[in-house]
Structure 1
Amino acid sequence: MSNAIEKTGRILIVDDNEDVLRAGKMFLKRHFLQIDTETNPELLPTLLRNEPYDVILLDMNFTKDVSSGKEGFFWLDKILEIDPSAAVVLITAYGDVDTAVKAIKEGATDFVLKPWENEKLLATVLSAMRLRRSREEVSQLRSLQKTMNQDLESRFGDIVGQSPAMLKVYHTVSRVAKTDANVLILGENGTGKEMIARAIHRSSHRSDKPFISVDLGAISENLFESELFGHTKGSFTDAKEDRAGRFEVADGGTIFLDEIGNLSLPLQAKLLTVLQSRTITRVGSNKTKQVDVRLICATNMPLYEMVKQSSFRQDLLYRINTIELGLPALRERPSDIGLLAEHFLAYYAKKYNKSVHSLSPAAIKRMEKYHWPGNVRELQHTIERAVIMSDGSSLQQEDFFFSSPQNTAEKKEDNLSLDLDKFHLEDVEKILIRKVLKKHGGNISQAASELGLTRSSLYRRLEKYEL
């Protein structure tokens, strides 16, 4: 063979039969650069640490264990423990085919029957080699992706996501951040609007200046001017000293006005005046002060509809939305759910000193099918609760509770209003468990089955909710 890949292949044959080793080496050395043989599997760890083999041909049965294949399984596990991407081809007799198929499920790449046909042996080894190198390429790509993610993290902090929708957001942030243009971030609750605002600030030329976040929905009307523009001592009852407002503190940096859609029309007018003049006047003072701030606003409310209904000023909307950035709901980027879940799992496992370190594929699949009305914030809280309640090393699908359309219909029939905007998810879970237990007359096994939980998981919840 003249193919360069075949000439550079490194093959290891491990078998206690010297004749098998000689026959394999004699044939394979015509096609590959290096063929090593070994009769003692105890030397495998040393061999693998000293040489990066492309393919390992491993006998299923050695002298100590003639026919069960147990030694083969043992050494297969050892090989994959040392090198998870190893391509292991099992050497087995005709009567051990079922055992070899079982070994493939355990991680082996393929098997050959002895006595083998040379062409079939060559084809099997070449296929295993291609698989090994494909695995190496995937590993390299993952390493590259990790480097790219680290670069994104340096610009976007704790924002997690590589879906097309989020890549579009990153691209917009990168372009917008370099300017001083006012930005309006639109998105549902829990989509990460403030995190994006902070990312814009970190990537801007104002990054060494303050980033001041203001939740306009949490400021009462009578304190609005004092909070945003400041006040002088004695200007009102509780004004015991001069105080700078948020705009003044943010001077030179960025001010983030969250929930701007909640402002009343009179407060919108006051804010617009400041944005137009770029000056503020403290409550109780006649002196104006120039402020230089980058303005970023956010809301989950339909501002354009509100303008039509005359509940939001059109001139204020035009002032704040030089650049408009829409954040996707979590249900619109399901490919990011696993990444986010693993991110939160690592954080909360460390925070609560828990040994849980992984999510089962079934759990991730179930999360990807859920609609997440609370978006990333709901996912975060869901993972936190699961970590706290977990007593294993991996979170399973039964460790999570999700509301479903079917459950919602049943609740409506029973006149149980479980609107997630009005109730905490734990309230929903508690009511549902109580209802299912009542339905099955307190039978734990039947209730657990309907809820999709194990008995132990249901017992934990019963203890938690004191049911």
Structure 2
Amino acid sequence: MLDAKILVVDDNKSVLSALEILLQFEYKSVQTLFNPNQISSFPKIDEIDIVLLDMNFSAGVNTGNEGLFWLKEIKKKSPNTSVIMMTAYGAVDLAVKALKEGASDFILKPWNNERLLTTVKSAYELRKSKNEIHQLKKKESHLKQVINEGKNNIIGKSQALTAVLNLVKKVAKTDVNVLITGENGTGKELIAREVHRLSARNNEVFIGVDMGSIAENLFESELFGHIKGSFTDAKEDRAGKFEAAHQGSLFLDEIGNLTLQAQAKLLSAIQNKSVVRVGSNKPIKVDIRLICATNCNLEQMVADGLFREDLLYRINTIHIEVPPLREREGDIMVLADFFLKRFSTKYDKPGLKMNTMALEKLSAYPWPGNIRELLHTMERAVILSEGNVLKPSDFLLHSRATGTTEDGPRTLDEMEYQMITKALEQHDGNYSAAAEQLGVTRQTLYNKMKRFKV
């Protein structure tokens, strides 16, 4: 016996009795209604799995309009309930009309018992499938909400930041491609997430991709996906980031680090609004909001032949420049206080404060590493603090001019960190040029940056 609830609605009591007897041995609950007007007040109609509904109730009327009316009423109250229409007057156009209005099937009276049971079983499977899809959509919606929430802590009230956020509000309402530029650590990803949060796609996913961390030979697989057997480690079909971001937003960070070959492939996907998985020749349509970010000067890279001009035009419909922390007057203290409270809670050091001289030191510092540097500076100070008040000596800051700490480099790691940051500053954030100066590959440089959280 199947765990399903069935409701039979017919003005012929003989029909009700016959169907009740036939179905009661197959299904857990079988209820009947003689008067269709009772449908409106039927308790918990949304819990009914299948309704067998007569199409004509008034004597001498066989248009089927009454049944179609009650079909619509049932679907309003319970869209996932399967409704099977019953009539003694078979007409193809009437059956088609019923199916268009949401009926799952059509039965002619008198019926064949075996065929009717098969029809009802199919309707039950359809109801189960709809319920499963509904539950999956609820889970998907919840997961998207969890993924997207809690990552939009844009702190500050400076005029420079306010101007950026005002632009973001205007841009977010459209679906144009956005390019976000700014120094390392300025919060470009937070701005990208804010564009997504304020857009019509905010109920869909925001997928972020760090382009600098993707090995060149895995670029296509990561972004466009692959099919099983397309290369040695392709043990199963896999969707790429473009497909994962379908109907949502795709954020490509550090786009200035792409090779010219990778740029050409990316341009093709953007232009065609479709991707082809590695090992396949079947294009897959994708609908995404594209947001890119870089700390490089892409226009200079175009002039130097390092970045495709046509790709720049594609990703640069709207340009948002995120100001460095040193240009956000007043925000240093706001952010320092925010991070102090966060890390005081995280490391169970309640009541921590900064004295006046410490505040002055933080305010006067140019913060070459921007918000990221401030965050790590505050975390380090909180971890190493021994009292309830943080003093100037609790904050180890780097000199922008020399690339050294106040007391000079203390470890090999510190020296390596300073060499990397200085090389990047000298080459305006161009990883390839900095790597060449340091005598390492671009991938090695990027791995070290990740380790140092530059």
The one of 170, 179, 197 aligned to 2:192: 197
Q: How does 1:56-205 map to 2 (within 5 A)?
A: 157-205=152-200
Give the superposition deviation at 1:408.
5.7
Q: How far apart, CA to CA, are the structure 1 residues paired with 2:177 and 2:349? A: 43
Q: How far apart, CA to CA, are the structure 2 residues paired with 1:367 and 1:308? A: 38
Partner-residue secondary structure (3-state), 1:385: helix
- Report the counterpart of residue 419 of structure 2 in structure 1: 422
Q: How far apart, CA to CA, are the structure 1 residues paired with 2:234 and 2:379? A: 41
The one of 311, 315, 334 aligned to 2:306: 311
Letter of the structure 2 residue corresponding to residue 291 of structure 1: V
Partner-residue secondary structure (3-state), 1:289: strand
Give the superposition deviation at 1:342.
0.6
- Report the counterpart of residue 293 of structure 1 in structure 2: 288
The one of 364, 370, 373 aligned to 2:365: 370
Say if 1:277 and 1:353 are closer, same or farther in 2 by CA, change over 3 A.
same
- Report the counterpart of residue 385 of structure 2 in structure 1: 390
Give the superposition deviation at 1:422.
3.4
Q: How far apart, CA to CA, are the structure 1 residues paired with 2:381 and 2:271? A: 49
Identity %: 54
C-alpha contact (below 8 Å) 1:355/1:392 kept by paired residues: no
C-alpha contact (below 8 Å) 1:186/1:326 kept by paired residues: yes
Q: How far apart, CA to CA, are the structure 2 residues paired with 1:418 and 1:277? A: 47
Q: How far apart, CA to CA, are the structure 1 residues paired with 2:302 and 2:224? A: 26
- Report the counterpart of residue 245 of structure 1 in structure 2: 240
C-alpha contact (below 8 Å) 1:356/1:395 kept by paired residues: no
Q: How far apart, CA to CA, are the structure 2 residues paired with 1:294 and 1:267? A: 20
Letter of the structure 1 residue corresponding to residue 419 of structure 2: K
Spell out, residue by residue over 1:122-178, the C-alpha distance to the aligned partner (whole angstroms, 9 max, x if none).
xxxxxxxxxxxxxxxxxxxxxxxxxxxxxxxx9982111100000001101111111
- Report the counterpart of residue 333 of structure 1 in structure 2: 328
1:349 aligns with 2:357: no
C-alpha contact (below 8 Å) 1:183/1:295 kept by paired residues: yes
Give the superposition deviation at 1:283.
0.5
Give the superposition deviation at 1:418.
4.6
Q: How far apart, CA to CA, are the structure 1 residues paired with 2:308 and 2:355? A: 49
Say if 1:406 and 1:258 are closer, same or farther in 2 by CA, change over 3 A.
closer
Letter of the structure 2 residue corresponding to residue 346 of structure 1: K
TM-score by length of 1: 0.55
Give the superposition deviation at 1:403.
2.8
- Report the counterpart of residue 358 of structure 1 in structure 2: 353
- Report the counterpart of residue 11 of structure 1 in structure 2: none
C-alpha contact (below 8 Å) 1:259/1:298 kept by paired residues: yes
Q: How far apart, CA to CA, are the structure 2 residues paired with 1:302 and 1:201? A: 24
Moved >4 Å (runs of 4+):
405-412, 416-421
C-alpha contact (below 8 Å) 2:210/2:252 kept by paired residues: yes
Letter of the structure 2 residue corresponding to residue 276 of structure 1: Q
Q: How far apart, CA to CA, are the structure 1 residues paired with 2:259 and 2:301? A: 12
Give the superposition deviation at 1:392.
1.6
1:236 aligns with 2:231: yes
Give the superposition deviation at 1:357.
2.7
C-alpha contact (below 8 Å) 2:403/2:419 kept by paired residues: no
C-alpha contact (below 8 Å) 1:155/1:203 kept by paired residues: no
C-alpha contact (below 8 Å) 1:187/1:329 kept by paired residues: yes
Say if 1:193 and 1:421 are closer, same or farther in 2 by CA, change over 3 A.
farther
- Report the counterpart of residue 214 of structure 1 in structure 2: 209
1:284 aligns with 2:279: yes
C-alpha contact (below 8 Å) 2:403/2:421 kept by paired residues: no
- Report the counterpart of residue 40 of structure 2 in structure 1: none
- Report the counterpart of residue 268 of structure 1 in structure 2: 263
Q: How far apart, CA to CA, are the structure 2 residues paired with 1:306 and 1:406? A: 26
Spell out, residue by residue over 1:355-378, the C-alpha distance to the aligned partner (whole angstroms, 9 max, x if none).
343222221111111111111000
Gaps of 5+ in 2: 1-148, 423-454
- Report the counterpart of residue 380 of structure 1 in structure 2: 375
Partner-residue secondary structure (3-state), 1:350: helix
C-alpha contact (below 8 Å) 2:243/2:286 kept by paired residues: yes
Letter of the structure 2 residue corresponding to residue 206 of structure 1: R
Say if 1:421 and 1:279 are closer, same or farther in 2 by CA, change over 3 A.
farther
Partner-residue secondary structure (3-state), 2:218: helix
Say if 1:319 and 1:362 are closer, same or farther in 2 by CA, change over 3 A.
same
Say if 1:418 and 1:411 are closer, same or farther in 2 by CA, change over 3 A.
farther
Partner-residue secondary structure (3-state), 2:419: coil
Say if 1:175 and 1:262 are closer, same or farther in 2 by CA, change over 3 A.
same
Give the superposition deviation at 1:394.
2.1
Q: How far apart, CA to CA, are the structure 2 residues paired with 1:236 and 1:285? A: 12
Q: How far apart, CA to CA, are the structure 1 residues paired with 2:379 and 2:150? A: 26
C-alpha contact (below 8 Å) 1:162/1:336 kept by paired residues: yes
Partner-residue secondary structure (3-state), 1:422: helix
Gaps of 5+ in 1: 1-153, 426-467
1:320 aligns with 2:315: yes
Q: How far apart, CA to CA, are the structure 2 residues paired with 1:335 and 1:419? A: 32
Q: How far apart, CA to CA, are the structure 1 residues paired with 2:329 and 2:230? A: 52
Spell out, residue by residue over 1:242-286, the C-alpha distance to the aligned partner (whole angstroms, 9 max, x if none).
000000000000000000000000000000000000000101111
Give the superposition deviation at 1:405.
6.2
Letter of the structure 1 residue corresponding to residue 370 of structure 2: N
Give the superposition deviation at 1:354.
1.0
Residue-pair matches, total = 271
C-alpha contact (below 8 Å) 2:230/2:279 kept by paired residues: yes
